């Protein structure tokens, strides 16, 4: 029985477990979906990246408009014919590391537009002759690390448009180029990087011999060439030949280079890699084979251990017009051959300790000399002599430290145009530039210039166009330091300092200056006449200073300005006068990172900022500095939110205005009532003090005046006892507003009110106003009784329209005037009775209803 008891509980548990499992499965499915997520759409409907998605074919979601498809790191295994028929517009196809071992014939046959095909790192086992059929536009074919061992079977002979064929990291042992290479006339780059080529024999390169191959680069680096048979390269013209780490030892290299005899090449690159130095050292005669090679440029890279003085580095390359030595541990310049033809010599990252000026002066034909990035190079004691043709000297990025620059070092180099001594340690200028007075470009940036700034050192450089003395620790003390630089167009002197941190007349003779960089100079003040001479200036960088103002007088002479960088200063605002003098030619203005004051009193400036969308650079970095609560709010949003009338405020003010208008209209319309209200509130006391002058105030229409005189005034004022009536035409004071009269003379001075109701009364506004007052008076003061006299000819319908009156008549008694003697008699008696009762008047009246 206990077992039976347990049964229901288990049954209840099971569905829950099931649900849990189901959820788990669902989650896993979702995750799997994520892993197999569709390709990344790099350019909509044009470029897709399906890298590493473990897919085994062209994904169906890739549309047929796709031009770039990256299928790398997938599992395609083998490509069958028409494999890419769904993407016929492909121009770029990356199949790197897709585990492809078989490519069947016509696999790419649909890809007529394809220009780049990458098959890196697929161990292709067999390529049929029709493998690359259809690729009529193919320009670049990458077959790196594909296990190719022979060129003979490579079915690329029909790819006439091919420009780059990369066969690196394969096991090709022979450079015997099959005949079809002579058809590949567009070929520009042919790489056998890191293969197993050991021997190059005569005839191997015959296929390159026929056509003009001056555009072709042939890379044979990282092979293990033991021997190049002389004549292999004879009569071959190449654009570039690269032989880096191609030889195992000195002997192999020495003999192999002899095998290059007869080669004509634009650039020959020989040497090693920094992390693969097979040759122990450079020995005499290593390059002797190059005597037989015709070349324009020779590059030697990564060589170490030169036997100083006795080596013959230049022996066979003296006639080359351009020599570059990169990462060559050359400590001194080797023996220089007679009459070298070298025009361009460069040593980058060499091991010179001193500028080898004496030996280099033997290269009489030199035009360009560069010794750069040599961290051991610190001394410049030797002097160049009579390098008549020398135009460019670049000694930048060394550790040079020397004095008396720059005439003694370059005697006889009158053609020197370009001198670069930037990024060195420290140099002192003497002001003597007599030997190099034709200089056009002088770059001294980031090299400490000792004691520079006190006197005009550049006085003799009348032709100089470009001067860079940025970050040279120059401290400008004299106004004349740029004297003599009459042709200067570019002056860069960022990161220096001026006496008293103030710019004064320092630039007065630089009237041709087009570019001036005085950023980061700790400037606090600019004199008014500073830029007076710079009418041709196009670019001014005065950023990263401490300027507080933009004085229009200072900048007004700069009428040719196109670019102005005033960022990182302490401007609070540009005043209207400053905005006005900004020249129309200005297209670049950077005012970011200033200490702007956000206030709507600078409305013009704020508005100007929002308008000059194209002119202002880094607009998002133009932010408020003060007030504190606005800090870091961008100026344009400040303007939009705070200064520009926003729709809310507009609506608000319109509503207020309308309300005011309505109010005024209401006052105009209910003037009487309001006035009365005022009187009610203020005039109560008056009434108490004032005795009742009249017995009754008669409210009547002016048209009923005749009746009033005849039937009311005459009998009442003339009768016994005589009553004093208040009549508007008689008793109202002249020169006082009617309303005042009505209140003061009529109501406040009368005990009773007699209303003569007639058709005219109903039509008169004054009458109904007076009646309204009478009613409320009666209510408030509890004093004046209203005696209603209804004339018989009153139109009943008109009466009904006057709601207040008709209601009053319905609820109260009134006298009715009838033109009969008997009725008149009763009327008089009643009226006199009421008036007589006067003060103790009560509501007892005869009802005539």
* Residue 483 lies near another protein (rule: CB under 8 A): no
Given 58, 103, 114, 142, the residue binding another protein (CB under 8 A): 142
| CB of residue 103 to another protein, shortest distance in Å | 16
* Residue 246 lies near another protein (rule: CB under 8 A): no
Would you tell me the crossing angle of helices 671-682 and 647-669 to the nearest 10 degrees?
Answer: 80
Radius of gyration of the chain (CA): 54
Q: Which of residues 5-24 bind another protein (CB under 8 A)?
A: 16, 19-20, 23-24
- In a 3-state reduction of DSSP, which class is residue 644? coil
In terms of CB distance, is 91 or 373 closer to another protein?
A: 373
Residue 414 CA, distance from chain mean position = 48
Alpha-carbon gap, residue 116 to 90, rounded angstroms: 9
| CB of residue 276 to another protein, shortest distance in Å | 5
Count residues binding another protein (CB under 8 A): 33
| CB of residue 346 to another protein, shortest distance in Å | 12
DSSP for 511-575 reads TT--EEE-TTS---EE-TTTTTT-TT--EEE--SS------HHHHTT-TT--EEE--SS------
Q: Is there a contact between 345 and 318 (Cβ–Cβ < 8 Å)? A: no
* Residue 73 lies near another protein (rule: CB under 8 A): yes
* Residue 602 lies near another protein (rule: CB under 8 A): no
* Residue 121 lies near another protein (rule: CB under 8 A): yes
* Residue 118 lies near another protein (rule: CB under 8 A): yes
Given 48, 140, 169, 572, the residue binding another protein (CB under 8 A): 169
| CB of residue 376 to another protein, shortest distance in Å | 17
In terms of CB distance, is 120 or 396 closer to another protein?
A: 120
Of 79-87, 90-98, 607-615, 656-664, the segment contacting another protein by CB under 8 A is: 90-98
Q: Map tokens 């009613």 to a residue.
A: 775
* Residue 32 lies near another protein (rule: CB under 8 A): no
Q: Which of residues 206-235 bind another protein (CB under 8 A)?
A: 222
* Residue 151 lies near another protein (rule: CB under 8 A): no
| CB of residue 331 to another protein, shortest distance in Å | 19
* Residue 40 lies near another protein (rule: CB under 8 A): no
Put the strands of the sheet holding 448-449 in their side by side order.
401-405, 426-429, 448-449
| CB of residue 71 to another protein, shortest distance in Å | 11
Would you tell me the crossing angle of helices 671-682 and 765-781 to the nearest 10 degrees?
Answer: 20
DSSP for 710-727 reads IIIIHHHHHSSSPP-EE-
Strand-pairing partners, residue 539, are 515, 563
* Residue 144 lies near another protein (rule: CB under 8 A): yes
| CB of residue 8 to another protein, shortest distance in Å | 16
Binding mask 256-285 for another protein (x = CB under 8 A): -----------------xxxx---------
Put the strands of the sheet holding 102-103 in their side by side order.
78-79, 102-103, 126-127
* Residue 245 lies near another protein (rule: CB under 8 A): yes
Where does residue 420 rank: exposed (0-12), middle (13-18), buried (19+ CB within 10 A)? Answer: buried
Q: Is there a contact between 361 and 344 (Cβ–Cβ < 8 Å)? A: no
Q: What angle do CA 749, 752, 753 make, to 5 degrees?
A: 100
Q: Which of residues 321-340 bind another protein (CB under 8 A)?
A: 326-327
Reply yes or no: is the peptide bond before residue 627 cis, omega within 30 of 0: yes
In terms of CB distance, is 118 or 513 closer to another protein?
A: 118
In terms of CB distance, is 275 or 821 closer to another protein?
A: 275
In terms of CB distance, is 14 or 667 closer to another protein?
A: 14
In terms of CB distance, is 235 or 274 closer to another protein?
A: 274
In terms of CB distance, is 315 or 374 closer to another protein?
A: 374
Which token pair is 733? 């004071």
Q: What angle do CA 336, 340, 341 make, to 5 degrees?
A: 150
Of 113-121, 223-231, 362-370, 639-647, the segment contacting another protein by CB under 8 A is: 113-121
In terms of CB distance, is 94 or 731 closer to another protein?
A: 94
Reply yes or no: is the peptide bond before residue 406 cis, omega within 30 of 0: yes
- In a 3-state reduction of DSSP, which class is residue 786? strand
Q: Smallest Cα–Cα separation from 467: which of 486, 399, 477, 371?
A: 486
In terms of CB distance, is 245 or 519 closer to another protein?
A: 245
Binding positions for another protein, rule: CB under 8 A: 16, 19-20, 23-24, 27-28, 31, 51-52, 72-73, 94, 96-97, 118, 120-121, 142, 144-145, 166, 169, 222, 245, 273-276, 301-302, 326-327
């Amino acid at each position: 029985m206990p077992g039976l008891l347990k049964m229901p509980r288990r049954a209840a548990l099971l569905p829950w477990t099931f649900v849990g499992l189901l959820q788990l499965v669902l989650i896993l499915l979702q995750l799997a979906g994520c892993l197999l997520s569709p390709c990344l759409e790099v350019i909509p409907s044009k470029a897709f990246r399906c890298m590493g998605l473990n897919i085994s074919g062209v994904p169906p979601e890739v549309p047929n408009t796709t031009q770039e498809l990256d299928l790398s790191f997938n599992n395609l295994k083998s490509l069958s014919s028409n494999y890419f028929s769904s993407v016929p517009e492909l121009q770029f196809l990356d199949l790197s590391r897709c585990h492809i071992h078989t490519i069947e014939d016509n696999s790419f046959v649909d890809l007529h537009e394809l220009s780049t095909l990458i098959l890196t790192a697929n161990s292709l086992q067999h390529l049929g002759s029709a493998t690359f059929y259809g690729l009529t536009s193919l320009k670049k074919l990458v077959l790196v690390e594909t296990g190719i061992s022979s060129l003979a079977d490579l079915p690329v002979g029909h790819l006439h448009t091919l420009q780059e064929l990369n066969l690196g990291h394969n096991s090709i042992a022979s450079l015997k180029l099959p005949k079809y290479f002579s058809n590949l006339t567009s070929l520009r780059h042919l790489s056998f990087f890191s293969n197993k080529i050991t021997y190059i024999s005569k005839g191997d390169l015959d296929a390159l011999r026929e056509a003009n191959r001056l555009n072709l680069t042939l890379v044979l680096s990282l092979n293990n060439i033991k021997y190049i048979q002389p004549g292999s390269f004879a009569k071959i013209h190449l654009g570039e030949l690269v032989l880096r780490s191609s030889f195992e030892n000195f002997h192999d290299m020495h003999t192999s280079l002899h095998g290059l005899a007869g080669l004509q090449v634009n650039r020959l690159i020989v040497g090693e890699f920094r992390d693969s130095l097979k040759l122990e050292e450079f020995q005499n005669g290593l390059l002797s084979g190059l005597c037989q090679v015709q070349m324009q440029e020779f590059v030697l890279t990564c060589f170490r251990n030169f036997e100083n003085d006795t080596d013959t580095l230049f022996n066979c390359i003296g006639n080359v017009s351009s020599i570059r030595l990169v990462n060559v541990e050359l400590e001194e310049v080797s023996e220089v051959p007679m009459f070298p033809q070298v025009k361009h010599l460069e040593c980058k990252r060499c091991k010179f300790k001193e500028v080898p000026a004496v030996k280099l002066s033997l290269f009489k034909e030199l035009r360009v000399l560069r010794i750069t990035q040599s961290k051991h190079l610190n001394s410049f004691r030797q002097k160049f002599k009579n390098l008549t043709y020398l135009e460019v000297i670049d000694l930048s990025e060394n550790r040079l430290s020397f004095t008396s620059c720059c005439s003694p070092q370059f005697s006889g180099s009158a053609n020197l145009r370009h001198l670069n001594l930037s990024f060195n340690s420290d140099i002192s200028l003497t002001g003597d530039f007599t030997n190099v007075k034709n200089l056009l470009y002088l770059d001294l940036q980031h090299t400490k210039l000792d004691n520079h700034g006190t006197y005009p050192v550049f006085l003799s450089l009348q032709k100089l166009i470009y001067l860079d003395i940025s970050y040279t620790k120059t401290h400008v003390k004299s106004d004349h330091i740029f004297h003599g630089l009459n042709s200067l167009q570019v002056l860069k002197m960022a990161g220096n300092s001026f006496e008293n941190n103030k710019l004064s007349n320092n630039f007065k003779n630089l009237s041709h200056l087009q570019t001036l960089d005085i950023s980061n100079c700790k400037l606090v003040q600019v004199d008014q006449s500073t830029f007076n001479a710079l009418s041709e200036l196009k670019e001014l960088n005065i950023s990263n200073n401490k300027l507080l103002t933009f004085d229009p007088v200072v900048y007004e002479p700069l009428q040719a300005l196109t670019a102005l960088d005033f960022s990182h200063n302490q401007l609070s605002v540009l005043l209207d006068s400053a905005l006005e003098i900004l020249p129309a030619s200005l297209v670049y203005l950077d005012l970011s990172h200033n200490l702007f004051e956000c206030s709507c009193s600078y409305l013009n400036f704020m508005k100007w900022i929002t308008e000059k969308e194209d002119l202002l650079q880094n607009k998002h970095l133009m932010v408020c500095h003060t007030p504190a609560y606005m800090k870091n709010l961008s100026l344009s949003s400040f303007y939009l939110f705070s200064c520009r009338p926003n729709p809310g405020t507009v609506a608000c003010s319109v509503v207020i205005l309308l309300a005011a208008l309505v109010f005024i209209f209401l006052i105009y319309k209910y003037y009487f009532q309001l006035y009365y209200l005022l009187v009610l509130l203020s005039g109560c006391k008056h009434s108490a003090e004032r005795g009742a002058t009249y017995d009754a105030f008669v409210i009547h229409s002016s048209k009923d005046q005749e009746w009033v005189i005849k039937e009311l005034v005459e009998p009442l004022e003339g009768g016994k006892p005589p009553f004093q009536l208040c009549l508007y035409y008689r008793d109202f004071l002249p020169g006082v507003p009617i309303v005042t009269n009505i209140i003061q003379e009529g109501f406040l001075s009368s005990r009773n009110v007699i209303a003569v109701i007639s058709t005219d009364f109903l039509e008169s506004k004054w009458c109904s106003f007076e009646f309204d007052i009478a009613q409320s008076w009666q209510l408030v003061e509890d004093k004046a009784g209203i005696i209603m006299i209804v004339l018989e000819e009153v139109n009943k319908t008109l009466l009904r329209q006057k709601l207040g009156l008709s209601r009053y008549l319905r609820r109260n008694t009134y006298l009715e005037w009838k033109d009969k003697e008997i009725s008149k008699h009763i009327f008089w008696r009643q009226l006199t009775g009421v008036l007589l009762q006067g003060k103790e008047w009560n509501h007892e009246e005869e009802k005539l209803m």
